[in-house]
Amino acid sequence: MKSETYTLHLTFLTPVHAGTGDELEPFSYVLHSNGNGTARLHLVDLEGWVRDSSGDPDVIDAFENRDVAGLRRFVAERIPLEKYTLDVIPVAGNKFTSLYSEVLSGKREEHRLLLDKTHRSPADGLPFLPGSSLKGAVRTAVGNAHLDQAGRPFFKKEKKDYDWQGYNHKIFGKIQNDIFKFLKVGDIKLGPGRTQIVEPVEVSKNPERTQSTPKNFAEATHSLVLGEPLNARAKLQIASPHQKFQIQGLVQPFDLPQLMAWLNSFYIPKYFQEMKAFYELPHLSRVKKHLEPVTEKVQKLEKDRPHNSALVRVGHYSHVECVTYDNVRDPKARKGWGKTRTLAEATVPFGWILLQAEPGYIPEQDIAGQLCHHEKPQTAPDLHSDDKTAEPSLEDTRKTRLDDLQKGLNAVQSDKIPGTLPGIAQKVLEDSDPEYAREAARLILEFVRASGRQKKLKAKPWYKDLQELAGREG
C-alpha cells in the first residue's frame, strides 16, 4: 500500500502532562536542593540499591524498624545518587521543596507527596509522549468538523440512551473500515531532563473563590513559557494518501493539508475562547501576560494557515472544550462546568503544542544515544545475501506483539483496570494489522473475564468494539 511519511516537529508551547493514571511512590524519588534556591528530583532505583546493600545491617534495620518518615529520611540521606539515579527532574516551584522538607522532618507525616507520573519507556526509563495521545487529539478535531453531516445529536437530559457508538461509526466508519487506521503517529521521545515537577492549581472565573480542588503534583514537559523551551519530533504516516474521507455524500481528501486544516479550525478558536473567558479577566491577567509568546505564534498561525502547521492540545488538564465535540458534550460536573481552569504553577495552562510537518523521516540519535521512537537505522538491503532470517516474519512480529500485550495486561493492577484498559483497547482497535488486532481483542476480553470486572465493563463502547473485532461474544 502506498504511503506518505513525514517528520512531525513539536514545539511545546505550554507544559504537557500526559499521565499514566499511576502515581510516583514516595520511595521512588529523592529531592536534592542545590543551595541556590533550585531543587531537582532524582528518580532512584530503590530496588537495585536495597539488593546491592543486602549485607549492610543499617539498611536492613532501616527497612524493618523505621516509620515511614524515618525510612524516607534514611533513603534520602544514604542512597548513592551518583549510582542509583535513573533521571533528574527539575522542580518548577518552591512549594514541593518546602513540603518535602516538612515530610522528612516528620512535621507532615500524613503527607505522602505523591506525584502523577508521565509515560516512561521500559527500555531506557526516559519520558515520552504517546503517539496515541496526539492521534486522539486529531480524531477529536476531525470528528467535530463532521457533526452536521452525521446528524449532530444535541444532547438532552431525557435522552440518555443515545447511540454514541453508532454516531461515531457514522463519522469514522466501523472498526474494520475506520478511516483513522490509515493514520499512524509514532511516540514522541523527550529525552532525559526534559520534564519538570509542577503544581496543578485550579483557578476560577470568580475572583472571590479562593478554595480549589487539591491535586497531586505532576510531571510535565518543559515548554516555551515555563521552564526551558522544548522541541521534539515524531514519525507521522498516512498509509493511503489518496484515501477519501466520505460521510453523507461529502467527499474530502484524507491527507496532510486537510488534517492540518481540521486541527486549526478546531483548536485555534478554542485557544482564543479560553483567553477571552478566563485570562482577560483582571484577576487572571498574569496568565495572559505569560502567554504572550504563545499568543503571538497562534495569531500568526491563524493568519497564515500554512498547509503543514497546526495547533493542537494534548494531555491531562486540556479541559472539556478541547476533548469533546461542540454542542454535544455532556460533562459530569455536579456544579456545572467551564467555570475553572487548571494551571501549571497557577501561571499557564496545560497542553498546547505547535505542529509542523516536513516530508520524509530519518531516525536520528538523541542525546541519550538511543534511536528516536525506538526505530532502527535504515540500511540498504544486501541483494546478494543468502541470509533469509535477518528480518523477522510477520507471524513472528505478531507473536512478539501479542506476548508483549499479555505481559502488559498482567502488569495492570486490579484497581487500575477501569482507567488503563480503554487506552490499551483504543490502540488495538486502531491497529493496521487485522490479524494482530483480532487476537489482541480476544486477549483483552479474556483478561477482563478473568479479572471479574466483565459485568461493570461490558457496557463500555470500547468493550463492545472489542467484541465486534474479536468476532465473538466476550
Q: What pLDDT, in 10s, does the model give residues 426-442?
A: 778 877 677 888 888 88
Q: Are both 135 and 252 inside the same structural domain?
A: yes
In tens, the pLDDT along 108-150 reads: 655 678 889 899 888 788 899 999 999 999 999 998 888 877 7
Q: Are both 308 and 324 inside the same structural domain?
A: yes
Q: Are both 346 and 428 inside the same structural domain?
A: no
Q: Is the pLDDT of residue 286 over 80?
A: yes
Whether residue 378 is contained in a domain is answered as no
Q: Is the pLDDT of residue 32 over 90?
A: no
Q: Which of 302, 330, 359 is the last residue of a domain?
A: 359
Domain enclosing residue 447, as ranges: 396-470
If pLDDT is split at 50, 70 and 90, which confidence band does 257 have?
very high
Q: Is the pLDDT of residue 100 over 80?
A: yes
**Residue 187 pLDDT:** 93
pLDDT mean over 48-75: 85
Query: For residue 12, what are the contacts with CB-CB under 8 A and spacing of at least 6?
Result: 221, 222, 223, 224, 229, 230, 231, 232, 353
If pLDDT is split at 50, 70 and 90, which confidence band does 160 have?
low
Q: Let me know: does 311 contact 354? Beta carbons within 8 Å.
A: yes
Angle between helices 68-78 and 95-105 (to 10 degrees): 110
Q: Which of 113, 141, 168 is the last residue of a domain?
A: 113
Q: Are both 30 and 163 inside the same structural domain?
A: no
Whether residue 338 is contained in a domain is answered as yes
Percent residues over pLDDT 90 in the chain: 36
Q: Are both 329 and 199 inside the same structural domain?
A: yes
- Spatial distance between the Cα atoms of 50 and 45, rounded to a whole number of angstroms: 9
Q: Is the pLDDT of residue 376 over 90?
A: no
Whether residue 379 is contained in a domain is answered as no
**Residue 463 pLDDT:** 87
Q: Which of 359, 378, 410 is the last residue of a domain?
A: 359
- Which carries the bigger pLDDT value, residue 421 or residue 237? 237
Q: Which of 119-133, 291-305, 400-414 has the lowest mean pLDDT?
A: 400-414
User: How does the average pLDDT of the chain come out, rounded?
Assistant: 82
Q: Is the pLDDT of residue 83 over 50?
A: yes
**Residue 382 pLDDT:** 35
**Residue 275 pLDDT:** 97
Domain count along the chain: 3
If pLDDT is split at 50, 70 and 90, which confidence band does 331 have?
low
Whether residue 381 is contained in a domain is answered as no
- Which carries the bigger pLDDT value, residue 92 or residue 246? 92
Whether residue 368 is contained in a domain is answered as no
**Residue 388 pLDDT:** 38
In tens, the pLDDT along 224-233 reads: 998 789 999 9
pLDDT mean over 342-371: 78
In tens, the pLDDT along 171-206 reads: 887 777 788 888 999 999 998 889 999 999 999 998
Whether residue 369 is contained in a domain is answered as no
Percent residues over pLDDT 70 in the chain: 84
